[in-house]
Amino acid sequence: MSEQTKVNIGVISLAHSHGRSYFRELASMPGVEIAGIADSDKLRAQPLADSHGASYYEDYRELLARPELDAVVICSENIHHAQLAIHAARAGKHILCEKPLGTTVPQMQAMIAASEENGVLLMTAFPCRYLPAVVQAKEAVDRGAVGDILAIKGTNRGSMPGGWFVDPALSGGGAVLDHTVHVMDLMRWFLGSEPARVYAEMGTLFHDLPVEDSGMVHVTFESGVIAVLDTSWSRSKSFPFWGDVTMEIIGTEGVISVDAFGQKNEVYSDEAGKAQWSHWGDRMDRYMLLDFVRAVRERGQAPISGEDGMRSAAVALAAYESVRRKASVDMKDILGPTV
């Protein structure tokens, strides 16, 4: 596929709010054609499709049946990721799937296998890798600016999202599954090492919910690095953003502090009734989607693979198992000895 060839992309489900932002970014990109939106909720999806002259499909299989379709972006409820991705792979469509990649390891293994068997890309949506603070910190670590990394302290704290996110039948978990994966992916990426053991504490401390809204996840990596991550919905509803995403990387020669969403102005609006973050910096979603489009066009490797998505989500699953056992968990117990 040449650089002049348009990449034809569809969006499956707007259940996750990222679906709208991804759709709008794709619609504004040169060299991208929007094939349409598939969503069982017509009221949610058709107005957005109509506003951009795109087709609406109530049944996602009708979208997948379009022969000109090259790729899909999946933004459904977590529990549906595997089914949608496997069907897309079997239809020969490249896939960008919202995080977490799946809610069980067998689901995610089946997604990866389907993409490999059908020769399509499976990319996990981890846009935080494209934030300037994260990119610059990764470059500093790679050139040895802090020496050998000894430990990482991370956070991803935000407001309770409500809706299907707090329904375990649709989400597969609460704050620990929702907020572990972003920072765990960054930790794996920075270290070039896999998590070996996980110990976690979690609870429902801030809201009356059927899922946990708080957690502390402790990870020992194969390299010996120790990491701790505060993964919670501990911010009040007036908090200006979905998460804070920070890392403090401690090395033998120095420390790097990362504030992933630091490119912002603080706006205090009486009309909005709460403080807001007005971003003036780079758009992580756009850079991630541009990378996906490039990979589809060049038939290259997924920049952030299904394997990346599975290993990060598996840490959250290990955290749940740790709480059940009241003990640390070997990642081989979660992923299996051969992964």
The domain ranges of the chain are 7-127, 129-284+314-335
pLDDT value, residue 264: 77
What tens digit of pLDDT does each residue of 3-44 get?
A: 567 999 999 999 999 999 999 999 999 999 999 999 999 999
pLDDT in tens, the chain (339 residues): 555 679 999 999 999 999 999 999 999 999 999 999 999 999 999 999 999 999 999 999 999 999 999 999 999 999 999 999 999 999 999 999 999 999 999 999 999 999 999 999 999 999 999 999 999 999 999 999 999 999 999 999 989 999 999 999 999 999 999 999 999 999 999 999 999 999 999 999 999 999 999 999 999 999 999 999 999 999 888 777 777 899 999 999 999 999 988 877 888 878 777 778 777 777 899 999 999 999 999 989 999 999 999 999 999 999 999 999 999 999 999 998 766
pLDDT value, residue 213: 97
d(CA 279, CA 260): 12
pLDDT value, residue 3: 58
Q: Which residue has the tokens 């502390």?
A: 216
- Supply the DSSP string of 25-85, one letter for each residue: HHHTSTTEEEEEEE-S-HHHHHHHHHHTT-EEESSHHHHHT-TT--EEEE-S-GGGHHHHH
pLDDT value, residue 271: 79
SS3 283: coil
Please, which residues have CB within 8 angstroms of residue 116's CB and are 6 or more apart in sequence? Answer: none
Q: Pairing relation of β-strands 149-159 and 246-251?
A: antiparallel
d(CA 276, CA 334): 39
pLDDT value, residue 26: 97
d(CA 214, CA 189): 24
Angle between the N-to-C axes of helices 306-325 and 105-117, in degrees from 0 to 180, rounded to the nearest 10: 170
- Supply the DSSP string of 196-249, one letter for each residue: EEEEEEEE--SS--SS--EEEEEEEETTS-EEEEEEEEEE-TT-SSS---EEEE
d(CA 97, CA 121): 10
pLDDT value, residue 334: 97
Residues paired with residue 329 on neighbouring β-strands, in sequence order: 198
Q: Quick one: DSSP state of residue 118?
A: T
Beta-carbon-side half-sphere exposure of residue 39 (alpha carbons within 13 Å) = 28
pLDDT value, residue 4: 63
Class of residue 160 by CB neighbours under 10 A (exposed 0-12, middle 13-18, buried 19+): buried
Residue 66 phi, psi dihedral angles, 5° rounding: -70, 120
What tens digit of pLDDT does each residue of 209-253 get?
A: 999 999 999 999 999 999 999 999 998 887 777 778 999 999 999
Q: Using an 8 Å Cβ cutoff, are 158 and 235 in contact?
A: yes
Compute CA distances 202 → 44, 53, 172, 174, 176, whole Å.
34, 45, 15, 10, 8
Instruction: Assign domain 7-127 to its CATH superfamily.
Output: NAD(P)-binding Rossmann-like Domain (3.40.50.720)
Q: Pairing relation of β-strands 329-330 and 195-203?
A: antiparallel
Residues paired with residue 32 on neighbouring β-strands, in sequence order: 7
pLDDT value, residue 1: 58
SS3 282: coil
129-284+314-335 under CATH 3.30.360.10, yes or no: yes
Asked if the domains 7-127 and 129-284+314-335 are classified in one and the same CATH topology, the answer is: no
